[in-house]
Amino acid sequence: MLALLPVVLVLVLVVAIAGWALWLILSAAVVGAVIGALARLAVPGRQEIGIFNTIVIGWIGSLIGSLLGRHLFHVGRFLTFACEIGVAAVLVLLASSAAGNALARRNRSLRW
């Protein structure tokens, strides 16, 4: 019975750490989806990138924009959020132009 107590304690700690890591991954995906979607709305025209790329770009834009807004410029929450969307919009523009160029090259190679 006494040997079972350390095993239970280790399991409780492992489950808590795994749950925390899962929460971080899920919250990063949700934040990335929201920031990426807002960035795609800010960029005019059609973007040739998928939903997974939008989430990743939104997540990266959120990290870089938060770093710029909070730690470099020392602005408030609203301006930091606007900075996150702006950085993600630039990244969406870059990714969609790269995807558009690849699509144009592929379509050109299909012509006679």
**And the tokens for 107?**
């379509």
pLDDT of the residue at 1: 63
DSSP state, 73? S
Least Cα distance to 58 among 25, 80, 95, 91 occurs for: 91
The CA distance from 79 to 85, in Å, is 10
* 58-110 residue pLDDT tens: 888 888 888 888 888 888 888 988 888 899 999 988 888 876 666 556 666 66
Q: What is the pLDDT of residue 101?
A: 64
The answer to whether the beta carbons of residues 69 and 58 sit under 8 Å apart is: no
Provide the pLDDT for residue 3: 74
Residue 90 corresponds to which tokens in the numbers above? 């630039």
Task: Copy the structure tokens of residue 44.
Answer: 């005019």
The whole-angstrom separation of Cα 96 and Cα 78 is 26
48 within 8 A of 99, measured Cβ to Cβ: yes
pLDDT per residue as tens digits for the range 4-62: 888 777 777 877 887 777 777 777 778 888 999 998 888 888 887 888 888 888 888 88
